[in-house]
Chain A
Amino acid sequence: MLEHYLPIFMMILGGVLFGIVMVKLNEWLGPRRPTEEKLTTYESGMEPVRTARERFSVKFYMVAVLFILFDIEVVFMYPWAVAFRELGIIGFVSMTVFILILLIGLFYVWRKGALEWD
């Protein structure tokens, strides 16, 4: 059974080798005449203004935490969606209650001002 994977291994090996060979070939064959303009970071044509290694605003953090919470709750909806017909009215009512409680959470977050950027 293991030999069935052989083509995949060869594919991976080929891919890695191809990448290395191309980069090295480029370095070896191509002319290198660096200027200051060429050495700056490529930012889609814009002039880079400052270093990229800096602290992110704490606001991103808040958004991330809220995102995790509300995003993960969707996990409960997958089983419900799969068994929607079998669960019938019971499933529908339970999920409605669940989503209502989530909505109260959203209302709380909104009124507390956690969704405001400034």
Chain B
Amino acid sequence: MMQDFTQWLQQPGLSHFLIVSGLLFSFGMFAVLTRRNAIMVLMGIELILNSANINFLAFSRYTTGTLDGHLVAIFVIILAAAEAAIALAIVLNIYQNFNTVNVDELNHLRD
């Protein structure tokens, strides 16, 4: 059992990367669902985006053998940066208006 596990660890393959990305995705989702601080939620979103990036690169390396995945990954990096920049600006604006960045305290718009 232990022997198999060490053997599996010794030969990194597609599944290793998928497990890492799956874990990263779960951590990101967990942060998004449980954190109430807007900045923390944004960090969770970054994790999700990067987990997708790991997938793209791993698939590109192990299944297609083309550069498509790398190409997508570069664009996703840019996309994550643009999203983070805009989100931070919006959070800053929220802080100036409400003096808080807690998502739960923002409930002026309600039924």
Contacts and interface: CB of A to CB of B under 8 A. Distances in A.
B85 A68 contact: yes
B10 A75 contact: no
B82 A69 contact: yes
Given A2-B10, A58-B92, A65-B88, A75 B82 contact: no
A75 B92 CA distance: 27
Q: Is the interface of B mostly helix, strand, loop or mixed?
A: helix
Interface residues of A, number: 13
Residue with the highest number of chain A CB atoms closer than 10 Å, among B77, B81, B88: B81
B87 to A, nearest CB: 10
A72 interface: yes
A41 B8 CA distance: 50
B33 interface: no
B111 to A, nearest CB: 34
A76 B81 contact: no
Interface of B: 6, 9-10, 74, 77-78, 81-82, 84-85, 88-89, 92
Given A2-B6, A65-B85, A76-B74, 7 more contacts: A58-B92, A68-B84, A69-B82, A72-B77, A72-B81, A75-B78, A76-B78
